[in-house]
């Protein structure tokens, strides 16, 4: 569909954003990265993550929230916001 096509410049920007997200993700604390990877990439439940890491679900939830907050800060420093 013509409306779904993107310009070369938009594809370039999207590629740059992906690279920045990867860099920011790699800068996160290892524990935060692990929880976020298991939740968002491996699509495990909080209970499964807690069992795998031998932590309580509330600890996993706190790690996930802290990791997401820090990722947002890092992305903002690189000019990427959620708006």
Q: What one-character-per-residue DSSP string does 20-83 give?
A: HHHHHHHHS-HHHHHHHIIIIIS---HHHHHHHHT--HHHHHHHHHHHHHHHHHHHHHTT----
Q: pLDDT for 56-69, tens place per residue?
A: 999 999 999 999 99
Which pLDDT does position 17 carry in this prediction? 86
Which pLDDT does position 81 carry in this prediction? 80
Report how far apart, in Å, the C-alpha atoms of 39 and of each of 26, 52, 65, 71 are.
16, 12, 12, 15
pLDDT average, residue stretch 9-27: 87
* Beta carbons of 81 and 21 less than 8 angstroms apart: no
Q: Model pTM? A: 0.78
């Amino acid at each position: 569909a013509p409306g779904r096509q993107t310009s070369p410049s938009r594809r370039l920007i999207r590629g740059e954003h992906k690279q920045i997200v990867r860099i920011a993700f790699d800068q996160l604390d290892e524990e935060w990265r692990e929880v976020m990877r298991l939740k968002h990439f491996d699509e495990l439940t909080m209970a499964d993550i807690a069992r795998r890491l031998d932590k309580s679900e509330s600890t996993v939830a706190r790690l996930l929230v802290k990791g997401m907050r820090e990722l947002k800060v890092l992305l903002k420093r690189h000019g990427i916001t959620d708006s």
